[in-house]
Structure 1
Amino acid sequence: MASLVRHITIDCADAYRLGTFWAAVLDSSVHDDDRPGDPECLVESKGGGLLFVTVPEPKTVKNRVHLDVQPQDRTRDEEVERLLALGAALAADHRRPDGTGWVTLADPEGNEFCVERSAAERSAAERSGA
């Protein structure tokens, strides 16, 4: 039998703080056992689990792996605004005039992630030929 990815683990300076941010991004919550100051924090959502682990080293370079998030009940642009309000920072804007593209944001510890168009936006574009 093949292996399964159980969690995506992200090293960070403050596991609980970053876990709380990502729980809000994913409309989820941190695990019931996790508390501020814990060395680990688990966020489980419909799409899978993110495990945040406190490490002593700071982030120094661009991520080699990053998350792509797709909004479920809002547009890409609405989701970008919501995530900026939660504490994300704009890293790069790859939106095109025709509505395609994505936005690269950084979480509160500088980890890059991308926000894509929603499935509804993709379907509407396909129907209109855009």
Structure 2
Amino acid sequence: MTPLHWKLVVDSRDAATLAEFWAAALGYVVEDPSRLVERLLAAGQLPPDAVTERAGRRTFRGFAAVRHPDDPFDEVSGVGAGRRLLFQDVPEPKTVKNRLHLDVHAQAGGRDALVARLEALGATRVREHDQGPAGHWWVLRDPEGNEFCAT
């Protein structure tokens, strides 16, 4: 069987802001769909109210994605073809614990520095877990309250 292409989709209140947080947290790149947006607008295939501007570029309203900087991507659409997170705005707020979360791994001995850097980007510490040789990690929340772990 050929491996499937996939992305992790995260519901959000502000897709662009959450994408910027995760791009900075992971060392990823915020995708730039501006060439595709311009082409779709010019062809009348995208209504103007489906577009917004961010950092001087036109982008899809309510959607933003980040990709690993070394992975391939489509030059026209800006869409990554590898490790990728897509954020999509939804009307309802987050109300319960995530059923799926990311674990962000530090370099050996660098967990405290990683947690401090994530906090500086807008993450919040929730609780620390120390299970001795079995593992030591922090549960954090991103700026919209989504839980993740830093190990």
Q: Structure 2 length as normaliser, TM-score?
A: 0.68
The number of aligned residues is 116
Q: Which moved more, 1:59-68 or 1:40-49?
A: 40-49
Q: Aligned Cα RMSD in Å?
A: 2.4
SS at match of 1:17: helix
**1:4, distance to aligned residue in structure 2 (A):** 2.1
For residue 43 of structure 1, the aligned residue among 66, 71, 88 is 66
Distance 1:94 1:15, change over 3 A: same
State, as a whole percentage, how many aligned pairs show the same letter: 46
Q: Which residue of 1 aligns with 2:16?
A: 16
Alignment-mate amino acid for residue 24 of structure 1: A
Flag structure 1 segments of 5+ consecutive residues without an equivalent.
Answer: 117-130
Distance 1:73 1:100, change over 3 A: closer
For residue 76 of structure 1, the aligned residue among 111, 123, 131 is 111
Q: Which residue of 2 aligns with 1:121?
A: none
Q: Which has the higher contact order (CA 8 A, sep 6+)?
A: 2
For residues 84 and 99 of structure 1, the distance between their equivalents in structure 2, rounded to whole angstroms, comes to 25
For residues 74 and 87 of structure 1, the distance between their equivalents in structure 2, rounded to whole angstroms, comes to 22
1:24-103 alignment runs, 5 A limit? 24-33=24-33, 35-36=53-54, 38-45=61-68, 48-72=83-107, 75-95=110-130, 100-103=135-138
Distance 1:49 1:93, change over 3 A: same
Deviations 1:45-70 (A, max 9, x none): 16810000011110000001111111
Q: Structure 1 length as normaliser, TM-score?
A: 0.78
SS at match of 1:110: coil
Alignment-mate amino acid for residue 82 of structure 1: R
For residues 133 and 21 of structure 2, the distance between their equivalents in structure 1, rounded to whole angstroms, comes to 31
SS at match of 1:58: coil
Which 4+ runs in 1 deviate beyond 3 A?
A: 34-37, 95-100
Flag structure 2 segments of 5+ consecutive residues without an equivalent.
Answer: 35-52, 55-59, 71-81
**1:77, distance to aligned residue in structure 2 (A):** 1.0
SS at match of 1:11: strand
SS at match of 1:41: strand
For residues 113 and 98 of structure 2, the distance between their equivalents in structure 1, rounded to whole angstroms, comes to 25
